Amino acid sequence: MSGILVVTGGSRGIGAATAILGAKRGFSVAVNYNNSPDRADQVVAEIQAAGGTAHAIQADVSTEAGATSLFEQVDSKLGTVTALLNNAGIIQKNALIADYTAAMINEQMTINVTSQFLCAREAVKRMSTDNGGSGGAIVNMSSAAARLGGGGSLLAYAASKGAIDTFTKGLAAETAKQGIRVNAVRPGLIETEIHDGTGDMDRINNLMAGVPMGRAGTALEVAEAVIWLLSHEARYVTDTNVDVTGGR
């Protein structure tokens, strides 16, 4: 496996695991971050120590300027992107519908949805065979919450991930004849720091009983699904959601 992999939100959790695994499989990796330079540098250092190539690149990809800057920096530091994990996103504190404000909803949608549109746009410009590119693959980070709904705690988060499922389907159809495959991964209950953002510090244990396999998944297990979708082995796979949920 070779090429240039861009991982947004790559400084921690699933993003970091995917960056590290992607480098092990032969990708040169752009580790994007917004507010965690030390964490991004640690990911890059681990990749480089194992003989891989990686650069940490700061950019707020939920903004026009940030998304554009990220891919321009990738162009100059690594080369033309061939694979993208659209992973940047946030989760908010548990809330009922009566608690939501427009600001809360807009923040969730801007960071979780707008960022994926903007980064996909920049990747497609470079990958599309219609534009002289050599094709590529995009994986969008969705969530099992898109199916489960998030009612009673994470309604806006779930709605943002539902939007990603629709975005994935539409973008896959739009770009299939341009040499680009577009898929999504929908993690379930995964052992990462994102759960802390809900304010429920015991969230994983509280939800464990609802997982048929009886345990939470790991960031690496999600990363393995992502890397497969980005690989040549998945060359006939597009417009597909891969659930990594332990059966939940």
Concatenating the DSSP letter of every residue in 150-181 gives -TTTBHHHHHHHHHHHHHHHHHHHHHGGGTEE
Give me the pLDDT at residue 205, please. Answer: 81
CA-nearest of 180, 181, 182, 140 to 163 is 140
Q: Are the beta carbons of 166 and 232 closer than 8 angstroms?
A: no
Give me the pLDDT at residue 200, please. Answer: 64
3-class state of residue 194 by DSSP: helix
Residue of 33, 100, 157, 236 marked active site: 157
pLDDT > 70? residue 181: yes
Band of pLDDT at residue 201, cut at 50, 70 and 90? low
Give me the pLDDT at residue 134, please. Answer: 97
Band of pLDDT at residue 228, cut at 50, 70 and 90? very high
Band of pLDDT at residue 197, cut at 50, 70 and 90? low
Q: What is the tens place of the pLDDT at every residue in 13-47?
A: 999 999 999 999 999 999 999 999 999 999 999 99
Determine the Cα–Cα distance for residues 131 and 56; give it in Å rounded to an integer. 27
CA-nearest of 109, 111, 93 to 153 is 93
pLDDT > 80? residue 87: yes
Known active-site residue 236: no
Determine the Cα–Cα distance for residues 10 and 14; give it in Å rounded to an integer. 8
Structure tokens at 247: 């059966």
User: For the purposes of burial, counting CB atoms within 10 Å of the CB of 108, is it exposed (0-12), middle (13-18) or buried (19 or more)?
Assistant: buried
Band of pLDDT at residue 210, cut at 50, 70 and 90? confident
CA-nearest of 207, 217, 234, 149 to 13 is 217
Question: 129 Cβ partners below 8 Å, 6+ apart?
Answer: 135, 178, 179
> What is the DSSP track for 117-153?
HHHHHHHHHHH-GGGT---EEEEEE--THHHH--TTT
Which residues on neighbouring strands pair with residue 162, listed in sequence order?
none
Superfamily of 3-244 according to CATH: NAD(P)-binding Rossmann-like Domain (3.40.50.720)
Percent of the chain with pLDDT over 70: 97
Question: Can you tell me the mean pLDDT for 68-75?
Answer: 98
Report the predicted TM-score, pTM, of the whole model to 2 decimal places: 0.95
Question: Can you tell me the mean pLDDT for 201-207?
Answer: 76
CA-nearest of 81, 71, 31 to 54 is 31
